[in-house]
Amino acid sequence: MGRITIAEMEELSQDLKWVVQLGIIIEAIDDGSARLRLPASPDVLRPGGTVSGPAMMTLADYAMYAAVLGAIGRVELAVTTSLSINFLRKPPQADIVADCRLLKLGKRLAYGEVMLHSDAEPDAPVAHATTTYSIPPNR
C-alpha cells in the first residue's frame, strides 16, 4: 500500500491546473508505482489525429510524481530533474494509460520508468520514459 491515497493525490492535484485541464485520472498508487489514464479528447490531439507528445510527456511526468509520493508520502516539493521519452509508435485516438514504477529510491533522488500504451492496444507500447525526481532533504 502506498504512503499517499488516490483521494489525497487528487486533492493535491486541484492546484495543478494542467492535470485538471487534461483530465488525468489516477487509477492506482502503491509503494513506488502508479497507474494513470489520459482520457481521449480533442484537446490532446495534434494535427493528423494522434495524441500529442506534450500530453504524453505530461502524463508520464505526473505518473512518476504519483509513484514517488506513493513511496515517500506527501512531499509536495519533490520535483522532476530529468525526463527522457522515446515515442515508439503513433497512438490511436483512445485513452493513454501510464504504468510507472520506481527503479531506485534514494535519500535525495528517485529514478523510475513509465510505459505508456493506448487503451485500444494494451500490448503495444506507444512511448517509454525514464525520469528522475529530486526529493527535498527535509521531508
pLDDT band at 117 (very low <50, low <70, confident <90, very high): very high
- Strand 45-46 to 50-51 pairing: antiparallel
Res 1 pLDDT > 90: no
Give the per-residue pLDDT at 138: 77
46-70 pLDDT per residue, tens: 888 899 999 999 999 999 999 999 9
72-112 pLDDT per residue, tens: 999 989 999 999 999 999 998 999 999 999 999 999 999 99
Distance CA(112)–CA(105), nearest Å, equals: 9
96, three cell numbers:
493513454
pTM of the model: 0.96
